[in-house]
Amino acid sequence: MPELPEVETVVRGLRAPLIGRTITGVWTDWPKVIRPYPPEEFAARVVGQTFRAINRRAKYILCQLDHDILAIHLKMTGRLYVSEAPEAADRWVHFRLALDNGQYLHFSDARRFGRVFLGMRLEEFAPNLGPEPLEDSFTVEVLRERLGKRQRNIKALLLDQSFIAGVGNIYADEALFRAGIHPLRRASNLTEAEIQRLYETIRAALAAGIDYEGASINWYRKPDGTAGKSQEHFFVYHREGQPCARCGQLIVKIRVSQRGTHYCPNCQPEA
């Protein structure tokens, strides 16, 4: 699933072709992609509105229109791109917006888990998001307070979007490795030094992901169709059975909260 760095990269890639463009039509062959309105009502509401800004909150792409927010969640296999003609779209496109310059915004999604929301406020469809980890307001004090006496393991907690927004499986593994923390450590047992390291490495792992324009392991591509390069710089994720770049011990893969989890047993001791 695209995480904060991938979604941020998509947002940056969509600003130039979309901001200032007016929506002239809506097409879908999968009505469930649209929330909360049926397709006809959705189209009546959105046609004629202009893209004024495109930003990100957690894993949501937020398109500010004249009167509404058009929010898109890519889920596992979603991809957004702009093309000159609908015939240029791939066979997984199930939603598209026609624009006033003759171009089209396509939402391609092979698994059909992605969703397009229309509303006045983000809270209407995403009410319980945690703090943004790259904003200045997210400090080590905020992280320490949110960890509190939570008994969950730290990997599961990092995946919880109400705890911290935007961190997913990839960057949780990368941040925990950088911090030297085993993914099964109980959150309440982290030392002050470990909390400080984790704060720094969450931000560092996400910032690196943005710098490399996301990880193209499976479906994720940038809006221009090219691949991100984060996967070329992973320490542990997707590297099970390969030697750790720091100590040479083989990277291990286990399951935590039903997600594949990668770590180095030497650099991230469980005790």
Within 10 A of 121 (CB to CB), how many other CB atoms are there? 11
- Are 249 and 166 found together in one domain? yes
Choice among 8, 17, 56, 59 that is catalytic: 59
- Confirm whether 182 is domain-assigned: yes
87 is catalytic: no
Choice among 45, 146, 229, 259 that is catalytic: 259
Q: What is the dihedral of CA 100, 35, 169, 241, to 10 degrees?
A: -80
Largest CA-CA distance found in the chain, in angstroms, rounded: 60
Interhelix angle 169-179/192-211, nearest 10 degrees: 130
Within 10 A of 202 (CB to CB), how many other CB atoms are there? 25
CATH of the domain at 164: 1.10.8.50
246, 230 Cβ separation under 8 angstroms: no
How open is the CA angle 222-256-5, to the nearest 5 degrees? 20
Tokens 């180095």, located at residue:
264
- Are 81 and 194 found together in one domain? no
The pTM is what? 0.96
21, 100 Cβ separation under 8 angstroms: yes
pLDDT surpasses 80 at 128: yes
**C-alpha span between 216 and 4 (Å, rounded):** 13
3-state secondary structure 163-211: CCCCCCHHHHHHHHHHHCCCCCCEHHHCCHHHHHHHHHHHHHHHHHHHH
91 is catalytic: no
- Are 242 and 147 found together in one domain? yes
pLDDT at 74: 97
- Are 85 and 170 found together in one domain? no
- Are 217 and 245 found together in one domain? yes
CATH of the domain at 14: 3.20.190.10
Cis peptide before 127 (omega within 30 of 0): no
- For residue 56, what pLDDT band results from cuts at 50, 70 and 90? very high
Residue ending a domain, among 73, 96, 124, is 124
pLDDT surpasses 90 at 169: yes
Choice among 3, 6, 8, 174 that is catalytic: 3
- Are 144 and 255 found together in one domain? yes
* Residue 143: CA count within 13 A, CB half-sphere: 27
133 is catalytic: no
236: DSSP letter: S
**C-alpha span between 152 and 162 (Å, rounded):** 14
pLDDT at 193: 98
- Are 176 and 256 found together in one domain? yes
192 is catalytic: no
pLDDT surpasses 80 at 182: yes
pLDDT surpasses 90 at 271: no
Summarised one tens digit per residue, pLDDT across range 191-234 is: 999 999 999 999 999 999 999 999 999 889 999 999 999 999 99
Query: Looking at residues 108-133, what average pLDDT do you find?
Result: 95
pLDDT surpasses 90 at 87: no
- Confirm whether 241 is domain-assigned: yes
- Are 70 and 183 found together in one domain? no
Radius of gyration of the chain (CA): 20
Choice among 2, 5, 17, 183 that is catalytic: 2
- Confirm whether 129 is domain-assigned: no
